[in-house]
Structure 1
Amino acid sequence: MSHSAPAAPALGTDLTQSPHGSNGNGKAKAHWPIVLAAVGVVYGDIGTSPLYALNECLINTPGSRAVAALGCASLIFWSLIFVVTIKYVLFVSRADNQGEGGIFALLALRPKSETLLCAPILFILAGASLLYGDGLITPAISVLSAAEGLKSVNPIFTPWVLPLACTILFALFWFQKKGTAKIGGIFGPVMVLWFATLAVLGAIQIVQTPAILHALNPLSGLALLKSHPVAFVGILGSVVLAVTGAEALYADMGHFGRPAIARGWYGIALPGLALNYLGQAAYVVRHPDDLTNPFTAIGPQGHYGILLVLLSLAATIIACQALITGTFSLTRQAISLGYFPRLGVIHTSAEHEGHIYLPFLNWMLGLGSICLVLGFKSSGALAAAYGIAVTGTMAATSLAFYRTTRYRWEWPRVAAVPLCVTFLLVDLTFFGANLPKFQEGGWLPLLIGGFILTIMVTWKRGRAEILRHILKQDIDVSLIVSEIEQENIHRVAGCAVFMSAVPKGTPIALLHHLKANRCLHKTVLLLTLSVEGVPRIPKEESVHVEDLGGGLWRVIARYGYMDTPNGPTLLAQLAAHGIEINPRATTYFFNRETIIPGGKARMWPWQKELYRVLSQNARPARDYFGIPPNQIIEMGLPVQL
């Protein structure tokens, strides 16, 4: 399929505008209700970083805390400007796939010349895999860091921090089955209140120490790194905690539109974050001997301090919610593009296609997050495991963005290379700065990412081998039509749908059915479901019908990777093509694969065994396509890999 390439921005173009018009997904204006909703969903993760980011920087910076505070605040501020504002808001967010963002959106825009598992695609898949580590760690560190605020209010609460964090995490993941729409209405106002609180707390401290504004000079941060070359890695490894969540800005773009996300960043999130980080640093400059977390130190004390803890807990829950739903969306895209085994997908909203719930994935994330809280016991310990996943995904996004600038926007190398190399150098610098954390917990996201990447590659390669096996047994459908016209096959009333992996030849299930029964329904559909590299296919363009003769029809149903196929709904659409079918009186024929080892498939023996296990435990295609189980007949399909 050919994709329409976004227009390449000319020199001097207003980079606040999308090449698709206003925002690339059809929303003409960023009305403030949409902006508030975007703030609630998109900036939850990055908005809760002040709870721990500057404190971790100070811990990893030797020497005077006052000098360290000034330099770290400068590094954090300019990281927010370069990574979030310049890279993601100004540039990467423009690389949308029909309005949808995220690393899989860019993967779907790959050049046709690239093979399915070439080196660039493997690198991008590795970045996507690391997002699962981020999805596991973010709820744990966010909730735990907020719960630790109770200790600053009164040390008597210290024994309750871990039980409280685990209870909140359990409740959060249990509530996912209710759907995000149940609580989505309060996300925006709560996060706006949170960012306003950050701004006010920071501004109060800045007024008392205006000299902290020297941190706005990037030379202050560079001077800190120059004066502590040995601690260079530790400092940058902590600074990156301030930009976690930048990938969510891009991934959730399709829900709100680019203008709403940009306006929310410039008008609400960035001012609140910048003021708070500067305010924390200002407090440390005045109180260099106070070793408490500067975020809790600048907050109100006593009963008002409890209110801040409750607000921070609410903000972290929202941050976790955004990342959980993002992981759900990422997984559905991977399933649709053929990189992940089918899982159960439940739609929790009739109005919003993107509101989904994946039970198995949800409880795996929930169990993993609770285990991390119990295993690491503090947000500081978890911070060591955090940066690798985030920076690895950022680097993969930079590579994918380069492919878009060159092959979709057709930028010349002289424009694309310097920009993308700059992005990649910053990403890899942050990634390298986090590698020394490997033994302290950095191995965890790499282990999770490696496991997910192995599943993706094995599943994709295994499906390709299955398809190759099916094509080897292909029989021209005209031979079946000829048999029908010669009346050698008895016809019975009703409609039969035979699922076909490719839009040509004869489905193996149909051949087995004719061999066993020598009869056929009067209406026969050879149905192929094709998932293409765009988010959604317009309804009027989604179905192609071809009359093969003899009551046989070939139907090709096209879906985007954000769509969910549904068999009965599809059959209802065929009336517009002259095929009158009663969906309730239709029989669906599927192949049931049985993987047999010992074949000549181009896979390692361990990959064949892993694919067999994945195939056995993947959700059956009949369930994934929403077909009633009492209308299904399965035919055995032994495949020797």
Structure 2
Amino acid sequence: MSKEVVAEAVVSEPAEVAGGLGGHGHHNGSLVPMAIGAIGVVFGDIGTSPLYAMRDTFAGHHRLPLDQLHLFGIISLMFWSMMIIVTVKYVSVIMRADNKGEGGSLALLALINQNSPGKRWSSGIILLGVFATALFYGDSMITPAVSVLGAIEGVAVYKPELTHLVVPMVVGILVFLFMIQSRGTAKVARLFGPVMLAYFAVIATLGLLSVAQSPEVIWALSPHHAAQMFLADPFRGFLAMGSAVLAVTGAEALYADMGHFGRNPIRVSWLAIVLPALVCNYLGQAALLSRNPAALESPFYFLAPDWFQWPLLIIASMAAVIASQAVITGAFSVTQQAIQLGFIPRMSIKYTSVNAGQIYIPVINTALMVAVILLVLMFQKSSNLTAAYGIAVTGAMAIDNVLLAVVLFTMWKWKPWFSVPLLVLFFALDAAYLAANFTKIPDGGWVPLAMGLIIFTFLTTWSRGRQLMRQSMTEGTIPMEVFSKSAHSSATRVPGTAIFMASSSKGVPSALLHNIKHNKVLHERVVILTVAIQDVPFVDPGERCTMKDLGQGFWRLTLRFGFLEETDVPAALTAANMCGGPFEMMKTSFFLSRQTLIASSKPGMAIWREKLFAWMLRNAASAMEFFRLPTNRVVELGSQVEI
């Protein structure tokens, strides 16, 4: 799946995944600071689940009786789901499948494609990986809305007369959050770890204080309680899984953010801090509900004594904002990966720090802000939004199972007697959760599915359109060796260097043909440059450049970048002393091709998708900006292409 990209083409990488605030692939710090940093970035989503998970399981769209059978059954289900899905599946197994330290669906997809070239099933795997990415975007829209709503609703719990202010406050917080993205999050991110550490300490303490009053609730951790609930009340138990899955939303973030912190800090912070804190809080909520069923209005907030209610509201609100920040940053990272791997058009990417992991994409930020605010205004309450929450997460986790199966059998060569039972367990649990969430489609579950399908259509249309466009552009191209000999004798040579960007490493770029046709001149040094995005996060500096002398002052140069790297062409050229000497930007001209697509009846893509692709092509960011080319050294030449 190595994509070769041109100035007129497109490319530039998360997620997954989903995103972080640390440097991509750089995690050489000591374990404790890295673990604290991971708490602040990785666990915001799953960490804020206690705000609404228990409440919506018993008071949501598919209500359960608030008795010991169902209370203990749900706690058991949540606990063992966290153990199997998060601890075993993600922390112990999937996090071993890294692409040079990077995780996430797209990184795993690139790794699989790199190690399984030419396989018949590879196209299907690619589509699954792309759909998982599309679902992530749906999740990244819902997470800020449900997290901040769930936290601010504490105002209505403590002061019912202020209920009408909840939605305006949430919208205000979200607008502020999205408005500050362009300033970067480096300084704010330093506070994330300590704040989330304080949050987990608080919710664990409140949970333990409640458990101390009803210690018998500890027995709910036994798996037989979940089994008893399903045997005694199978239908309602199945429906309850649609809400119980909220306890593991955000599990995929552990894998997606692995490149920012490393697997060991994430494992340590999960096992030593986050998991115990969540278990204590869920047990505390169950103990509270067993004593006072009226607390079901908000068991999370009613855990706090009167004097600590407003401090808890502030801490929970900060945690919700942090969870939102992490998923927004994750959307930026996943978009960068998808651009680099050829699934999304070029977009303007702003680097907010010398740290390559901290980026800002204005188009994505605006689109997310609009979508999140619309969701808040449309659903009004977190209990309504949680109906939409879960399908995207469980769908992505189910797809991760398929990708994991490919890794286990084709790359790691695990023994079937060990891998098959493990996969059966993962598939069975994820399939049950996914099926339970499908029952929420009429109540709002259609939202992430619709978002996912729309985004999937955009991603696949762009990828297929670029493929067809490259094929059209390479049809009947003249071999560069033949062109260089004829052009040398028929055109006037002028001083300087001309770099012609080319999507293919073969043939003559259309910009070069148009230039010689209209201007009838050639520079002394003519370089045909192809930017190739590799299936690895980073490319070793020694492998960055390769060149070929075509004679007569013509050179073919290839620059290679990883899918997490900034495609800074001038910097790479300045560092490369080749093609007849060093490159001086003030004596170098860059020639780009800008294609205008003409929809046709040629086979390959439906007319409506061709028109969609043409619209995306027209609105793609300037190749000049994307490749960081000097604005006063660029010449663009247009051409028309039929696909």
TM-score (norm 2): 0.93
Aligned to 1:433: 436
Give the secondary-structure state (helix, strand or coil) at the position aligned to 2:546: strand
1:332-481 map, 5 Å: 332-350=336-354, 352-481=355-484
Structure 1 residue 152, shift from structure 2 partner:
1.9
Per-residue displacement from partner, 1:67-110 (whole Å, max 9, x unpaired)? 32222111111111111000000001111000000000111022
1:180-579 map, 5 Å: 180-302=185-307, 304-350=308-354, 352-484=355-487, 487-575=489-577, 579=581
Distance 1:149 1:93, change over 3 A: same
The equivalent position to 2:171 in structure 1, one of 158, 166, 171, is 166
1:146-165 map, 5 Å: 146-165=151-170
Structure 1 residue 225, shift from structure 2 partner:
2.1
Aligned partners of 1:306, 1:355: CA distance in 2, in Å? Answer: 33
Aligned to 1:20: none
Structure 1 residue 190, shift from structure 2 partner:
0.2
AA aligned opposite 2:430: D
Name which of structure 1's ranges 226-235 and 386-395 shifts more when overlaid on structure 2.
226-235
Aligned partners of 2:65, 2:484: CA distance in 1, in Å? Answer: 84
Contact kept, 8 Å, 1:153 with 1:301, in 2: the verdict is no
Aligned partners of 1:30, 1:393: CA distance in 2, in Å? Answer: 32
Aligned to 1:145: 150
Gaps of at least 5 residues in structure 1 are 3-23
Structure 1 residue 58, shift from structure 2 partner:
1.6
Contact kept, 8 Å, 1:41 with 1:319, in 2: the verdict is yes
Contact kept, 8 Å, 1:509 with 1:589, in 2: the verdict is yes
Contact kept, 8 Å, 2:529 with 2:557, in 1: the verdict is yes
Give the secondary-structure state (helix, strand or coil) at the position aligned to 1:473: coil
The equivalent position to 2:607 in structure 1, one of 605, 608, 616, is 605
Give the secondary-structure state (helix, strand or coil) at the position aligned to 1:562: coil
Structure 1 residue 422, shift from structure 2 partner:
2.2
AA aligned opposite 1:529: V
Contact kept, 8 Å, 1:341 with 1:618, in 2: the verdict is yes
Distance 1:187 1:235, change over 3 A: same
Per-residue displacement from partner, 1:456-490 (whole Å, max 9, x unpaired)? 111111000011112213211111221255x3321
Give the secondary-structure state (helix, strand or coil) at the position aligned to 1:639: strand
TM-score (norm 1): 0.93
Contact kept, 8 Å, 1:527 with 1:555, in 2: the verdict is yes
Aligned partners of 2:476, 2:109: CA distance in 1, in Å? Answer: 31
Aligned partners of 1:115, 1:542: CA distance in 2, in Å? Answer: 31
Q: Name which structure has the greater RCO, CA cutoff 8 Å, separation 6+.
A: 2
Contact kept, 8 Å, 1:241 with 1:387, in 2: the verdict is yes
Structure 1 residue 197, shift from structure 2 partner:
0.4
Structure 1 residue 418, shift from structure 2 partner:
3.0
Structure 1 residue 517, shift from structure 2 partner:
2.1
Aligned to 1:48: 48
Is the aligned partner of 1:121 residue 2:121? no
Give the secondary-structure state (helix, strand or coil) at the position aligned to 2:343: coil
Distance 1:328 1:26, change over 3 A: closer
Is the aligned partner of 1:178 residue 2:176? no
Contact kept, 8 Å, 1:41 with 1:318, in 2: the verdict is yes
Contact kept, 8 Å, 1:173 with 1:366, in 2: the verdict is yes
Contact kept, 8 Å, 1:66 with 1:286, in 2: the verdict is no
Structure 1 residue 398, shift from structure 2 partner:
1.1
Aligned partners of 2:295, 2:614: CA distance in 1, in Å? Answer: 58
Aligned partners of 1:355, 1:63: CA distance in 2, in Å? Answer: 47
AA aligned opposite 2:425: T
Per-residue displacement from partner, 1:42-64 (whole Å, max 9, x unpaired)? 00110000000011112244334
Structure 1 residue 135, shift from structure 2 partner:
0.3
Is the aligned partner of 1:35 residue 2:35? yes
Structure 1 residue 292, shift from structure 2 partner:
2.2
Gaps of at least 5 residues in structure 2 are 3-23
Give the secondary-structure state (helix, strand or coil) at the position aligned to 1:522: strand
Aligned to 1:17: none
Per-residue displacement from partner, 1:582-634 (whole Å, max 9, x unpaired)? 11331111111111122414111111111111111111222211112322111
Structure 1 residue 500, shift from structure 2 partner:
0.9
Give the secondary-structure state (helix, strand or coil) at the position aligned to 2:490: coil
Aligned partners of 2:107, 2:278: CA distance in 1, in Å? Answer: 29
Aligned partners of 2:122, 2:635: CA distance in 1, in Å? Answer: 34
Give the secondary-structure state (helix, strand or coil) at the position aligned to 1:291: helix
Name which of structure 1's ranges 123-132 and 80-89 shifts more when overlaid on structure 2.
123-132
The equivalent position to 1:105 in structure 2, one of 104, 107, 119, is 107
1:62-101 map, 5 Å: 62-101=64-103
Aligned partners of 1:292, 1:65: CA distance in 2, in Å? Answer: 16
Is the aligned partner of 1:136 residue 2:141? yes
Distance 1:603 1:114, change over 3 A: farther
Distance 1:165 1:289, change over 3 A: closer
Contact kept, 8 Å, 2:69 with 2:225, in 1: the verdict is no
Contact kept, 8 Å, 2:58 with 2:66, in 1: the verdict is no
Aligned CA RMSD, in angstroms, stands at: 1.8
Aligned to 1:57: 57
Distance 1:414 1:70, change over 3 A: closer
Aligned to 2:17: none
Name which of structure 1's ranges 201-210 and 417-426 shifts more when overlaid on structure 2.
417-426
Name which of structure 1's ranges 62-71 and 533-542 shifts more when overlaid on structure 2.
62-71
Aligned partners of 2:295, 2:594: CA distance in 1, in Å? Answer: 66
Contact kept, 8 Å, 2:289 with 2:295, in 1: the verdict is yes
Aligned partners of 1:372, 1:416: CA distance in 2, in Å? Answer: 41
Structure 1 residue 410, shift from structure 2 partner:
2.7
Aligned partners of 1:413, 1:622: CA distance in 2, in Å? Answer: 51
Give the secondary-structure state (helix, strand or coil) at the position aligned to 1:362: helix
Contact kept, 8 Å, 1:71 with 1:220, in 2: the verdict is yes
Aligned partners of 1:95, 1:290: CA distance in 2, in Å? Answer: 43
Contact kept, 8 Å, 1:484 with 1:550, in 2: the verdict is no
